[in-house]
Amino acid sequence: MLKSALAWARAPAACLNFNLFLLLLPVCRNLLSVCRGICPCQFLRHQLDDNIICHQLLAWTVTLLTAVHIIAHVFNLERYAGAWSADENNTLLGALSRIDGNGYLNPMRNENMTPLLASVTTVAGITGIVATICLFLLLSSSMTLIRRSFFELFWLTHHLSAIFYIAIAFHGYGRIVRGQTPESLKNHDPDICSDKFNNWGSNTTCPLPQFVGLPPKTWKWILAPMVLYALERGLRFYRAQQTVAITRVVCHPSRVLELRLRKRGFHAGVGQYVFLCIPSLRSLEWHPFTLTSAPEDDYFSVHVRVVGDWTEGLAKVCGMAEEFEEGAGNAEGCERHKRKPKLDTWQLPFVAVDGPFGSPADAVFEYNTSVCIAGGIGVTPFASVLKSTWNRVSRGSPLKLSKIYLFWLCRDTHAFEWFSELLVALESQLTDIGRPETLEYNIFLTAWDENQALHIAMRHEQETDVILGTKQKTSFGRPSWDREFSRLVEKHQGEEVGVFLCGPPKLSDVVKKKCSGFSKNQTKFVFHKENF
């Protein structure tokens, strides 16, 4: 009746079951953090770094399989309808369509029913339409342009995934695809009776065949991940209700706000991240921030650049709006605030915190030598790494890591002056304890104007860097990665070097190729990428 279109519908459906089972697992942040903590194999932990990419690939696979499934069923419905027009006395299709009772094969039980009518009146048709609409909205709102320009739209639309999964779970309950019952197969052998349909029921050799709808299986595949994700969201809700104290609000130049917080039972590793919600601003809006504090600190902190509506609102409720006004000398405003805070801690807003969650930077202390490469704002996770390194070195704690190379590429260092301040402080502190060789950093300014170039040229002979005030000078332009990796190979022959990158995809692709190319020598470079 359906010919090959049935296989074209059923095969993608079977593949969809497996892909839908996997689809939710990469976005269960707490599950991934637990896996990072208990997994002894570095290779397997390394795979968790690509959880977002895995989720995206699975989503595209689901979309492709859904398209094939829908197209095949369009042909199936046409052929179901066509079976009714067959001559019941001359064709098997007509006979199979007209079997009464529960033994029918054709789910279209009315010869006047059209494929379109069947699509909107059956359980499979209605749930399929709902699931397809949800999938289209989920996919379209996840495009890079939409996600980066209208993140709230992306975030809200993604909640349609609950409706999508519920529709998929009930999609098979209509039991449109039917098969011959085992009991009927014993008495009615299709190989013998297929050409004797005119005599069906007239003798015991070929009684009327009996068909039954095939039971749904999809719910068995997606029940476990749905339960896991429900537990994940429940845990996030529970964490959001816990008390978080803002112990201090620090104003930094270039419109950067530092929040220092405390929460009972909060323990984070280096470079991990949290989600913050300020209910007094927007009760359902959560934003991810990398922790800039070290695990050894008695607080955890995030640095927020005031650049949008939500961050402007955060500055306002923290009593910092005047310091961050456009056109104001915010560096002077920050100094005034440091001398005299505007709000007491009890006047600061309630903050909900979800996390911490693991990141690739967790493994930075597992190597003797680590290379940290940052592009622009990607330098944030390495603030925690550098602070923790200083804490461990100064306290004499056992530390496998003996050398950190930091490469920072940015168009404008003024946006991250708080990190420059950290570098200057760490440089001084490591020198004081006789360990300046622990950290070597290389800063590359990739864009500058004529005024900056003139200013730099006039002060080139100064001992400290003109831009950052550090002892190591800023380089201009982009680094020659061949030269840098050749230098690393020469200095660390026979070692396994961890390379940690947080930055744009183009930079990631280049560095990943260099790690692979230069690992052919005795030195092995293990690449870790932060996805943000």
- Give pLDDT, residue 328: 46
pLDDT tens across 174-210, in order?
A: 888 888 888 888 888 888 887 777 777 776 678 878 8
With H, G, I as helix, E, B as strand and everything else as coil, classify residue 311.
helix
pLDDT of 333 strictly over 90: no
Average pLDDT score over residue span 227-234: 91
Mean pLDDT throughout 81-106?
A: 67
Sequence-distant (≥ 6) Cβ neighbours of residue 394 within 8 angstroms: 429, 433
Report the SS3 class of residue 256: strand
User: Which one of 13-27, 314-328, 464-478 scores highest in mean pLDDT?
Assistant: 13-27
Beta bridge partners of 524: 496
Res. 339 pLDDT band, cuts 50 70 90: very low
Average pLDDT over residues 501-517: 87
What local confidence, expressed as pLDDT, does residue 341 receive?
53
Q: Report which secondary-structure segment, H or E, holds 365.
A: none
CA neighbor of 298 nearest in space, from 334, 262, 352: 262
Q: Which domains, from first to last, does the chain contain?
A: 5-236 (no CATH), 244-357 (2.40.30.10), 360-530 (3.40.50.80)
pLDDT tens per residue across span 234-247: 988 888 888 888 88
| Average pLDDT of the residues in 326-335 | 50
Residue type, 32: L
Write out pLDDT tens, residues 436-479.
Answer: 778 888 888 776 655 655 555 555 555 555 555 556 666 777 88
Cis peptide before 356 (omega within 30 of 0): yes
Confidence of residue 334 (pLDDT cuts 50, 70, 90): low
Q: What is the pLDDT of residue 130?
A: 95
User: pTM for the full model?
Assistant: 0.77
> Residues 121-148: pLDDT tens digits?
888 899 999 999 999 999 999 988 888 7
User: Is the pLDDT reported for residue 327 higher than 50?
Assistant: no
Q: Quote the pLDDT of residue 349.
A: 82
Is pLDDT of 269 > 50?
yes
Residue 327 backbone zone (phi > 0: left; psi -120 to 50: alpha; other: beta): left
